[in-house]
Structure 1
Amino acid sequence: MTTHPAVLTGGSAAPAALARPSGTFAMVAADQRDSLRTMMAQREGVPGSDIPAARLTDFKLAVARALGPHASALLIDRDHGYRRLVDEKVLPATCAPILAVDILDQRPGGPVEDTALDEATDLAAVVADGTRGLKLLVIWRRDAHRDRRVALAARFVEMCRDAGLASVLEPVARPTADEEAAGTFALNDAIVEAARELAPLRPSLYKCQVPDGGAGTVAGIAAQAERIDAVVDVPWVVLSQGVESADFPRAVEAACRAGASGFLAGRALWTDALSGDRDATLRGASTDRLRLLGEIVDTHGRPWWDAAAASERVTA
């Protein structure tokens, strides 16, 4: 039985601002910072220092213009495009802006090692801008800093709740140095362990990696994704990092069949546009891929209100 959103309590309606009419999520990520600079530099065969911030901003706004009309929300960062996105009214009313409020500890050309919360964010101004949600990336490891990361994520969820904004919590599981050296890191187990630790903080949306990196059959990925669904009692979506673009539609279908409500993805949608005719690729192949993914989540995704209603029953 489907529960209408109006009967939900306790702030559960926050995901509605980011959702499609079906109650699922087809969201575009354009908040990459140094990683986007690195991708651009690699394709052009130049040092990352040769890619100015303005290039990142221009690319993100091009993504927003082309894909925004087909997305339920778009994620962007303050340093590369947020202000122009808002001031120039780039997004249609059907696509909600999400602001990344994570401060990244990332060496040029390397992965994000850790994050912090941008506590200086003017939440009243963000709300006035029409932004509907905030996002925090958390790098999760089996190390001595787990309690600190839980506290960080809890503060983020509380901050969003106080401001009336949707909270998108994105834990990304990574190995410790010892696990990497010993080859003992199991991605699927780590995704579930991270979810068990952080999903009880009750963000509006929990965003996580696809099991098996999206490789394999729909049934095989779904079987692993069911382990995530068993420990996450809020609406959840998947990201595309580490998943080949061609594999991502199958990965999204598998996750949705296991209980996910959609995706928040960047690389799987717009990486091809980093080479050749950017705008033509964004309007063509990237848009086609986003439309296909939207059909997949509408067909197989769990509406956010069903996930939220189940969560309300669990905590009642």
Structure 2
Amino acid sequence: MAAPKPIDALTRPSGAFAMLAIDQRESMRAMFGEYQKTPVSDQQLTDFKLAALRALSPLASAVLIDRQFAWRQAIDQHAVAPSCGLIAAADDFIPSPNEIVSDVRIDEKVEPLSVKADGALALKLLVLWRPDESAEVRKDMVRDFIGRCRQAGLVSIIEPVSRKPRDGRAWDTNDGIQAAAEELGNLGADLYKAEVPLHGQGGERAVRGASARLNQTIKGPWVVLSSGVSPDDFPQAVEWACREGASGFLAGRAVWRNVIGSRDIPRALIDDAAVRLQRLIDVVDRVVVRC
């Protein structure tokens, strides 16, 4: 029997990835801001993240945590279940007047060997793909990131997302999803985190067809994220993607988005978010085929 690969520690016994993302930062602040008139404090975000980790990490195969609001607290407070793998977000988000995340760079404050000592198995890097920006700059950043992960013995996860061009040219989100995979899906990352093609819209044939194209393009395992897909639609979108080669999900909003604004967040995490996460787990355990 072949020895287990490091990436296998992020999967369920079925071989599927069922991973929770709780690394949202200013976008999460904006979500909370929809439900209150007072400013959303850093502590409010940290408290929510820790509550979500305690409620949901016993179900997830791995969890993605940010340095800015939750990594140190989660480690020190043992908020993550021992059965759940740890992924550290290694991206530094740069805002602009028009976008919460306008650009991304590698976060130099996330030291690979330090987070590995904390128990991290992997690092994740968000990459913004725009048709009017340099492919070489993006590829150089991804190669740099992968090299840092390999040197530290950590799994590398890249998350390319399709964004509108800055120059105002005509643009199609789904074309960007495929173009990002063609550009970045063969650079050596251990795991590729993709947007659901068509954001799950357009019917089974269209979504599965676009997912099959991604599967042919990405050289290695890939999973889907939930941004752009409603929580209620995400399980079906995950199934369609996995039937065409995806190996699971790494998602946050589709699991816990509806909990924000609840008067009793700990209760809602159990009654709503955990139920949604378990449904997603059931989907990938049933559908995913790992070689």
TM range (shorter): over 0.9
Equivalent AA in structure 2 for residue 300 of structure 1: V
Give the Cα–Cα distance (whole angstroms) in 2 for the partners of residues 168 and 302 of structure 1.
20
Could you tell me which residue of structure 2 aligns to residue 233 of structure 1?
Answer: 219
Matched, 1:281 2:283: no
Give the Cα–Cα distance (whole angstroms) in 1 for the partners of residues 102 and 180 of structure 2.
16
Give the Cα–Cα distance (whole angstroms) in 1 for the partners of residues 30 and 109 of structure 2.
27
Give the Cα–Cα distance (whole angstroms) in 2 for the partners of residues 86 and 234 of structure 1.
30
Where does structure 1 lack aligned partners over 5 or more consecutive residues? 307-316
Could you tell me which residue of structure 2 aligns to residue 312 of structure 1?
Answer: none
Structure 2 vs 1, CA of residues 45 and 154 (structure 1 numbering), >3 Å: closer, same or farther? same
Could you tell me which residue of structure 1 aligns to residue 153 of structure 2?
Answer: 164
Q: Give the share of equivalent positions with the same residue, in percent.
A: 42
Could you tell me which residue of structure 1 aligns to residue 20 of structure 2?
Answer: 28
1:294 Cα shift?
0.5
Could you tell me which residue of structure 2 aligns to residue 57 of structure 1?
Answer: 46
Structure 1 stretch displaced more, 62-71 or 140-149: 140-149
Q: Runs of 4+ in structure 1 displaced over 4 angstroms?
A: none
Contact persistence 2:162–2:174 (CA under 8 A): no
Could you tell me which residue of structure 2 aligns to residue 313 of structure 1?
Answer: none
Could you tell me which residue of structure 2 aligns to residue 94 of structure 1?
Answer: 83
Equivalent AA in structure 1 for residue 257 of structure 2: T
1:121 Cα shift?
2.6
Structure 2 vs 1, CA of residues 20 and 108 (structure 1 numbering), >3 Å: closer, same or farther? farther
Equivalent AA in structure 1 for residue 254 of structure 2: A
1:290 Cα shift?
0.6
Contact persistence 2:195–2:227 (CA under 8 A): yes
1:106-165 Cα shifts (integer Å, max 9, x gaps): 247833111000234322221111111110001011123221111001111111111111
Could you tell me which residue of structure 1 aligns to residue 121 of structure 2?
Answer: 132
Contact persistence 1:15–1:204 (CA under 8 A): yes
Give the Cα–Cα distance (whole angstroms) in 1 for the partners of residues 210 and 236 of structure 2.
14
Q: Work out the number of aligned pairs and report it.
A: 290
Equivalent AA in structure 1 for residue 8 of structure 2: A
Give the Cα–Cα distance (whole angstroms) in 2 for the partners of residues 278 and 23 of structure 1.
31
Matched, 1:83 2:72: yes
Could you tell me which residue of structure 1 aligns to residue 243 of structure 2?
Answer: 257
Give the Cα–Cα distance (whole angstroms) in 2 for the partners of residues 295 and 162 of structure 1.
35
1:194-244 Cα shifts (integer Å, max 9, x gaps): 111111112111001011111233333111110100101110000000101
Instruction: Tell me the TM-score normalised to structure 2 length.
Output: 0.95
Instruction: Tell me the TM-score normalised to structure 1 length.
Output: 0.88
| More helix, by proportion | 1
